[in-house]
Amino acid sequence: MQRIINEDSYEEKIERSRFIVNLKYIEHVDDAKEFISKISKDHKTANHNCWAYVIGKNGDYAHSSDNGEPSGTAGKPILNAINKSDLTNIVLVVTRYFGGVKLGIRGLIDAYGGVTERAIELNQVEELVDYHYYSIYTTYDYHNILTHKLKQLDLEISETNFGIDVHLKIKIKEEYIAEFSELLEDLGANNKIKYKKEEK
């Protein structure tokens, strides 16, 4: 699964109707509802604020709304476009200002699905990865050796602080955590380091 990085809005005119797409990275249903409410208030004079969201590591939870458009012509096409892009933890609202030309069922499905796809294409995406975070404390004389050992693993040293001891903040992908844990145990057993897992 992937997630969006930036959250650029997108606007397009189709048969004189104005379609505006707003999207956001989220992690909870409450965040999705808050964003939908905000966009709906920002565009309270629009004819429709249709939306969909997908949440969960594997896109386990999804919901959508046609918001007054004919059933199945807005929310579902938006959701289908999100799923087609293999995205999760995203909420997307498509606002429509009616321009006087009726699009018909097929036209609405193509319009809502199409603008959603084009909005997603304009936004950068990245692989959705679970990270683990650690603090490691070591002595000044062991710092260079420790750094060399850590750099052999696929991890990121996000911060280094020099105080009484050297304090490293580590960010590592879940898939490499077993190898990393073995290293920590070996070094800890030899009294070379002290470490603790952080929430973030």
Cα–Cα distance for residue pair 25/53, rounded to 1 Å: 10
In the structure encoding, which two tokens stand for residue 165, read together? Answer: 């001891």
- The answer on 64 and 23 residing in a single domain is yes
166: containing domain? 131-198
In the structure encoding, which two tokens stand for residue 99, read together? Answer: 């321009």
Cα–Cα distance for residue pair 107/96, rounded to 1 Å: 13
- The answer on 140 and 56 residing in a single domain is no
Cα–Cα distance for residue pair 45/49, rounded to 1 Å: 10
Domain boundary among 127, 151, 172: 127
In order of 148, 167, 187, 198, the CA distances from 161 in angstroms are: 17, 5, 19, 16
- The answer on 194 and 117 residing in a single domain is no
- The answer on 121 and 150 residing in a single domain is no
- The answer on 21 and 39 residing in a single domain is yes
- The answer on 120 and 137 residing in a single domain is no
> What total of structural domains would you count in the chain?
2
- The answer on 39 and 83 residing in a single domain is yes
Give the residue-averaged pLDDT of 123-128: 82
The string of pLDDT tens digits covering residues 88-106 is 999 999 999 999 999 999 9
Chain mean pLDDT for the chain: 92
Domain boundary among 93, 109, 127: 127
What CATH number does the domain containing 193 carry? Answer: 3.30.70
- Please tell me what DSSP assigns to residue 8: -
Confidence of residue 176 (pLDDT cuts 50, 70, 90): confident
- The answer on 120 and 33 residing in a single domain is yes
* Main-chain dihedrals φ then ψ at residue 30, nearest 5 degrees: -60, -35
Residues 165, 139 contacting (CB under 8 angstroms): yes
Domain boundary among 127, 153, 179: 127
Q: What predicted TM-score, i.e. pTM, was given to this entire model? A: 0.74
- The answer on 147 and 118 residing in a single domain is no
- The answer on 10 and 99 residing in a single domain is yes
The string of pLDDT tens digits covering residues 35-79 is 999 999 999 999 999 999 999 988 999 999 999 999 999 999 999
- The answer on 96 and 7 residing in a single domain is yes
Task: Give residue 129's pLDDT.
Answer: 76
- The answer on 149 and 69 residing in a single domain is no
CA 122 from centre of chain: 15
